[in-house]
Amino acid sequence: MPTFPIIDTHVHLWDTDILRYPWLEEVPLLNKPFLLNDYNKAIADVKVEKIVFLQCECSFEQFREEAQWVTQLAQEDIRIQGIVPWAPLEKGEEVKSDLEKFSDNKLIKGIRRIIQFEPDMDFCLRPDFIRGVQLLEKFDLTFDICISHSQLKNTLKLVRLCPNVHFILDHIGKPDIKSRLFDDWKSDITELAKMGNVCCKMSGLVTEADHLNWRKEDLKPYIDHILDSFGFDRVLFGGDWPVVLQASDYKRWVGALDWALSGCSEDSSRRIYRDNALSFYKL
């Protein structure tokens, strides 16, 4: 386990009594409130110094309310130093008004508009969506890329069209670890990492593996390739709690990653677990 306080760049919190989360109806394990007290219990003796909250796919019309709710939580817990809300980037130029409102909130560091669930494989290449992403530069906001591995090739095109936007790939691009699919993902990651405006979030691996039977050895080839591709300066740790609970408790995931990093120097480990988050999200 890390011997120093870490920064968790991928924390979800939700209160199903306040906001609506339609997707939770299909995930009974997660279909209840998950709040700060629950997170504190989950991390056990892992020392988390700072938190970045990631939008939780509430009903789209409530995206402003979600950001406001988490802003209020940050007044209760100073560890919350970054918020990445949802925004309708597919509106193109018309999303400016939403981004302007968010820019008044200094906790808001970026936007995540999930691409993964879009049935149109070319969704991220629609001109209005591309324009919406390009506008993030104007407001000094990053973009969290949440996709399935099958969408990586179009993601490469999106990133090339937005050279001035700082991207971070969530969950290492969601490779199919359970089925041990590797080669196509590997080559796409290699290409993505060549773009200096892209970082990668070491998160979500266990939920892409066999939920009941995964082993740390199953994860290591994917972790190694991310480090080979992005290096130690562009990889950030993410807990992905409570979604991670589908496959692992928090401490087991951290332990698996720490095992995979065991050959790294303490300086390299600190960059992944802490320092890179400070610079990317400007905490």
Model confidence over 23-52: pLDDT tens digits? Answer: 999 999 999 999 999 999 999 999 999 999
Q: For residue 127, is the peptide bond before it cis, meaning its omega torsion is within 30 degrees of 0?
A: no
Work out the average pLDDT over 246-275. Answer: 97
> pTM (2 decimals)?
0.97
pLDDT band of residue 1 (cuts 50, 70, 90) is: confident
Residue 176 pLDDT greater than 90, yes or no: yes
Q: What tokens does 187 get?
A: 């080559």
Beta strand segments in 165-240, E: 167-169, 198-202, 235-237
Residue 133 pLDDT greater than 90, yes or no: yes
Sheet with 110-111: list strands edge to edge: 110-111, 142-145, 167-169, 198-202, 235-237
User: What digits encode the pLDDT tens for the residues 64-105?
Assistant: 999 999 999 999 999 999 999 999 999 999 999 999 999 999
